[in-house]
Amino acid sequence: MSRWLSLLLIVAGVALLALAVWLDFRDGSPTMQKGDQPFEVVLVGGLGFAALVNGSYRFWRSFRRDDDHRRN
């Protein structure tokens, strides 16, 4: 996977996390008790976190692969 796709995953992850925060705060007060979050906040936040971690990991691995090829 090329680096720009990894960067796109990172940007999408950050955008989804921001959307999850906005969905949680849109009524004026955030939910503070466990289990109070609406389903869409949990879903969007989980997808955003997964995309952010996956993109970051793939971006880091792309640099490690370049270093391995330069040593040989």
Alpha helices in the chain (DSSP H): 3-25, 39-71
The per-residue pLDDT for range 20-51, each reduced to its tens digit, is 989 888 766 676 666 677 888 889 999 999 99
- What residue spans define the domains of the chain? 3-71
Both structure tokens of 40: 């869409």
Distance CA(11)–CA(6), nearest Å, equals 9
pTM: 0.78
